[in-house]
Structure 1
Amino acid sequence: MSETAPAPSSARGRTDDADVIVVGAGPSGSTAAYHLAQAGVDVLLLEKTSFPREKVCGDGLTPRAVKQLTAMGVSLEDKGWVRNHGLRIIGGGVRIELPWPELAEYPGFGLVRTREDFDQILAERAVAAGARLLQRTSVTGPVIDERSNRIVGVTAKDADREPVTYRAPLVIAADGNSSRLSVAMGIRKRDDRPMGVAVRTYFTSPRHDDDYLESWLELWDKNEGRDVLLPGYGWVFGVGDGTSNVGLGILNSTASFQDVDYRSLLRRWTSSMPAEWGFTEDNQQGKIRGAALPMGFNRVPHYSRGLMLVGDAGGMINPFNGEGIAYAMEAGVIAADVVAQALARPTQQARERTLLSYPRILADTYGGYYTLGRYFVKMIGNPELMKYATKYGLPQRTLMRFALKMLANLTEPSRGDAMDRVINGLSKMAPAA
């Protein structure tokens, strides 16, 4: 992978270093860079760390993410990819296995791959398409044109920690939940959107080759001496290399959210598992690590003054299930398409009109569905409702098939069964605000 700085584009009569700068080589940034490069756009991809690198994640990929990997030409044949058939749900004394729905729009399988090299695979695909990747390049702020008040590049520290400046007429912020670039541009988080926290670790375990993703719906904690059912779930995802990714995600829809010791909760939860699964301190591989989950478009606008937001920078995690990779990659595709269309326009005014379509496309694609997700988050924040739903809903297999489609957002967009039509209809009726 390239570590050398790009030469200015003097051959095009410009002093810009690229047509587009993408900040962050996670799933959203690398996907955007790949599709931009495929469209003939000169892309500079800046990554503050170096590959391979670890990221806090469940490592599970639904068929939505698999579709995007296939579109990028990623080979899924090497042994690092572990295929799964669906989701196993455990709660209320019920254990149910739900295969991924059979759809024309998406493949019929999911995957598990650790983030240690998953992001590197995507970055390598972007480089193979023609994007220029600079690793160990930490962006420190935007470069603002005083006349137009638009971003026209970024300041950074290179691999030698020397200050550098890169210029481009468009910048894509794919710099994660904290998104320093967005904050510096005055785009801040919305407090009326759901937020989650995920913690996870790895255990050497005989369950490493499980061909179902496993979700546990009952997470209990102590609050002022009382048992409290938390809104969220625990997971066990087999990684296929002798270890399982074991973690939990909690939503901020209860008053006790701020008081939860997530690492302690994970330790208590895993200690209650059957001994033969090996979820013990002796078998633990690495520390328990945590990360925030920005959901439901918690940072807007997604385009402003030459800056586009993708992935966690734009709060694009699904509120229903905490899935972020698929939506990060899909947003990268949308952003790349809009940018390629904009760059083909003959005037700055026409280019700007095209760029302003990006937030509208995102709202049309996800807005109503994410609004339903926010309602869902509020509902499961009610412990009594959560207990009732777990006890009486899980045994109903047809209802749970509907829930899987709803929570994983796996429907046929135009045709499909009655479940698809109900879910799509609800998403269209819900306000996108």
Structure 2
Amino acid sequence: MRQRCGVVIIGARLAGGCAAAHLASAGVNVVVLDRSKFPSDQMSTHLLFPDGVNELRRMGALDAILASNPTRSPWLELNTDGRATVLERWRASGPVDYCLCVPRTIQDVELVNAARAAGADVREKHRMLDVTWRGGRACGVRYADREGTEHEIEANLVIGADGRRSSVAAAVGSFRPYRGSRNGRGLVFRYGDDPMYGSREGATIYQWRDGDSIGFLFPSAPSPKVLMLFMGAAAEAEAAMGDQEGYWAAKLAQHPGMAARVAGITNLTKLRATGDTSAYFRASSGPGWALAGDAGHFKDPVIGQGQRDALWAGRRLAEVVAPVLSDPGALDMALRRWERERDVECVHSYHFGNIETEVKPVSPVLTEIVRRCGRRRDHAPDIGDVFGRGRTLPQVLSLARLGGGLFDAVRRGTGSSASATAREALADLKVHLGVRQELRGRRFRSSRVVPGSEHPDPKPPAPSRVRPATPRKDEIRTMPASNGNTDDTTDPAVTR
């Protein structure tokens, strides 16, 4: 039995739920298919900075999420090797000036509820089988409902918001990234109950950088829960699962500041871990289809940007396509422009994540930058802007600030020697200059490598299985083998 809608979305979580809510609010007939039944857990750092929390507000999910009693975190404290500390507030995004850390079992339910409240038809336990095609365009999907009965739905637009192992990306021939970088770090985390709940410390996002390892603490939901997270070398993820408490004790010994903060935390959960977080860009738009969220772009979670970018991408996609869904030519041009806008929005944080995922000791220059920031008594937003998306990495770590940090590090003797500190700083400066050059170029689907940031030839996740469909007589299956064309600066849909 064939059905019809304006947009069909595969995946109801961050990007899919947000796109559905905004499309439905604009009067579009939206059907969302998700193979999960909610609540459903998801591997995630769970953190949303103020700009991401504001996206929840814009889609109508924030009030219900706040009802789960998460701790609102308006503070950031960053510590480097026990030598320098900065305490500052987050820069506000709209009316929101705090972070939230909400488990996905709570958060994703409210994303689905917000999409339904806006008018979207969200169907849980429904599995996509294939994308259907007509005249070289995606024209819908075939899927199985919760009983396994097969159906077909036609749509003007198919959106894949089904994560890193995207079935939609595989079905449209865009699964292989045209650009990517191997991760160096893994993540290992657990939850517990915080005795400091209700204090300033209990409402602070912490980050400890000691040696080549990073520790985090995020006040969470429901209060007084906190999430504690380590990001060491990627191989640590497997080691952690082999000896959970031994690993945890060793990491706390490596991070004495974190050990002091988490002392007294009770009801510890078991550890969860992953060492597979390689970053990538996939070609994310084509005739009648788009890839949103992790389906199209993923960056290392060390910087905690994935959730915000998925929500942002879903909203912007909805805003761009809603007015032109009935015009295939205009729709495809709009999709292309959206993809370029997403890349411009995300490429600086992609490089930020690549730089942060390199496992090496804390830079003496960074330590001195943090020391300088820590002298301020007004606690105004500053270095945290690079996480909160108040400013980009080049804007926060300006050339003047990097030069001042180098001067202080040599004068103070922060590094092992003045010459070693200078050599390391010059190597880092070369990377930062490469990132700046790319941001100025604003190339579309560029596969150029920024040395020192990117480590190519990642091992992308294997796609979810998609069962090949038998074409109907009126169907022409002309899918491109790859949509990853590079350095495409002449496409009229993406000109500046």
TM-score higher than 0.5: yes
Aligned counterpart for 1:326 among listed residues 296, 308, 321: 308
User: Residue type matched to 1:376 in 2?
Assistant: I
Is the alpha carbon distance of 1:291 and 1:50 closer, same or farther for their aligned partners in structure 2, counting shifts above 3 Å? Answer: farther
Q: CA deviation at 1:144?
A: 3.0
1:336-355 pair list within 5 angstroms: 336-345=318-327, 348-355=328-335
Is the alpha carbon distance of 1:356 and 1:162 closer, same or farther for their aligned partners in structure 2, counting shifts above 3 Å? Answer: same
CA contact (8 A) 2:8 2:155 kept: yes
Matched, 1:312 2:294: yes
Q: CA deviation at 1:355?
A: 2.5
Is the alpha carbon distance of 1:121 and 1:260 closer, same or farther for their aligned partners in structure 2, counting shifts above 3 Å? Answer: closer
Q: Which residue of 2 aligns with 1:138?
A: 127
Deviation string 1:159-188 (CA, Å, 9 cap, x unpaired) is 123333333231111101111220232212
1:417, 1:214 → 2: CA distance?
19
Q: Which residue of 2 aligns with 1:225?
A: none
Matched, 1:237 2:225: no
User: Residue type matched to 1:373 in 2?
Assistant: F
2:182, 2:23 → 1: CA distance?
31
Matched, 1:85 2:85: no
Aligned counterpart for 1:383 among listed residues 351, 360, 376: 360
1:114, 1:258 → 2: CA distance?
25
Q: Which residue of 1 aligns with 2:492?
A: none
> Which is greater in Rg?
2
Q: CA deviation at 1:21?
A: 0.8
Q: Which residue of 1 aligns with 2:416?
A: none
Q: Which residue of 1 aligns with 2:269?
A: 285
Matched, 1:404 2:384: yes
**Other structure's SS at 2:35 match:** coil
**Other structure's SS at 1:192 match:** strand
1:47, 1:327 → 2: CA distance?
20
Is the alpha carbon distance of 1:192 and 1:363 closer, same or farther for their aligned partners in structure 2, counting shifts above 3 Å? Answer: closer
Is the alpha carbon distance of 1:43 and 1:316 closer, same or farther for their aligned partners in structure 2, counting shifts above 3 Å? Answer: same
Is the alpha carbon distance of 1:197 and 1:144 closer, same or farther for their aligned partners in structure 2, counting shifts above 3 Å? Answer: farther
Is the alpha carbon distance of 1:112 and 1:323 closer, same or farther for their aligned partners in structure 2, counting shifts above 3 Å? Answer: same
Deviation string 1:226-255 (CA, Å, 9 cap, x unpaired) is xxx25xx322112243432112345xxxxx
Deviates more, 1:170-179 or 1:29-38: 170-179
Q: CA deviation at 1:72?
A: 1.9
1:405, 1:284 → 2: CA distance?
31
Is the alpha carbon distance of 1:276 and 1:172 closer, same or farther for their aligned partners in structure 2, counting shifts above 3 Å? Answer: closer
Q: Which residue of 1 aligns with 2:340?
A: 360
Is the alpha carbon distance of 1:191 and 1:71 closer, same or farther for their aligned partners in structure 2, counting shifts above 3 Å? Answer: closer
1:197, 1:161 → 2: CA distance?
37
Is the alpha carbon distance of 1:16 and 1:355 closer, same or farther for their aligned partners in structure 2, counting shifts above 3 Å? Answer: farther
**Other structure's SS at 2:32 match:** strand
Is the alpha carbon distance of 1:363 and 1:79 closer, same or farther for their aligned partners in structure 2, counting shifts above 3 Å? Answer: closer
Deviation string 1:292-344 (CA, Å, 9 cap, x unpaired) is 5454xx13211023221111111244777132111111100111112212215
1:198, 1:276 → 2: CA distance?
18
User: Residue type matched to 1:132 in 2?
Assistant: D
Is the alpha carbon distance of 1:399 and 1:16 closer, same or farther for their aligned partners in structure 2, counting shifts above 3 Å? Answer: farther
Aligned counterpart for 2:207 among listed residues 196, 203, 215: 215
1:26, 1:60 → 2: CA distance?
15
Unaligned runs of 5+ in 1: 1-7, 9-14, 221-228, 251-255
Is the alpha carbon distance of 1:33 and 1:293 closer, same or farther for their aligned partners in structure 2, counting shifts above 3 Å? Answer: farther
1:291, 1:173 → 2: CA distance?
25
Q: CA deviation at 1:104?
A: 6.5
CA contact (8 A) 1:341 1:354 kept: no
Q: Which residue of 2 aligns with 1:167?
A: 154
User: Residue type matched to 2:440 in 1?
Assistant: M
Q: CA deviation at 1:409?
A: 1.6
Deviation string 1:22-66 (CA, Å, 9 cap, x unpaired) is 111111110000000011111001111111122222322211112
Matched, 1:26 2:17: no
Deviates more, 1:78-87 or 1:37-46: 78-87
CA contact (8 A) 2:186 2:277 kept: yes
Unaligned runs of 5+ in 2: 254-258, 402-431, 447-496
Is the alpha carbon distance of 1:267 and 1:180 closer, same or farther for their aligned partners in structure 2, counting shifts above 3 Å? Answer: farther
Aligned counterpart for 1:100 among listed residues 83, 86, 90: 90
Deviates more, 1:334-343 or 1:240-249: 240-249
Percent identity over the alignment is 21
2:179, 2:239 → 1: CA distance?
21
Q: Which residue of 2 aligns with 1:201?
A: 190
1:399, 1:362 → 2: CA distance?
36
2:263, 2:127 → 1: CA distance?
41
CA contact (8 A) 1:33 1:131 kept: yes
CA contact (8 A) 2:141 2:153 kept: yes
Q: Which residue of 2 aligns with 1:40?
A: 27
User: Residue type matched to 2:217 in 1?
Assistant: V
1:175-190 pair list within 5 angstroms: 175-187=162-174, 188-190=176-178
User: Residue type matched to 1:277 in 2?
Assistant: A
Q: CA deviation at 1:214?
A: 1.4
Q: Which residue of 2 aligns with 1:261?
A: 238
Bigger strand share: 1
2:373, 2:73 → 1: CA distance?
20
User: Residue type matched to 1:201 in 2?
Assistant: R
Q: Normalising to structure 1: TM-score of the pair?
A: 0.77
CA contact (8 A) 2:85 2:374 kept: no
1:259, 1:82 → 2: CA distance?
29
Deviation string 1:176-218 (CA, Å, 9 cap, x unpaired) is 1111220232212245335464332212332455101112223
User: Residue type matched to 2:25 in 1?
Assistant: Q
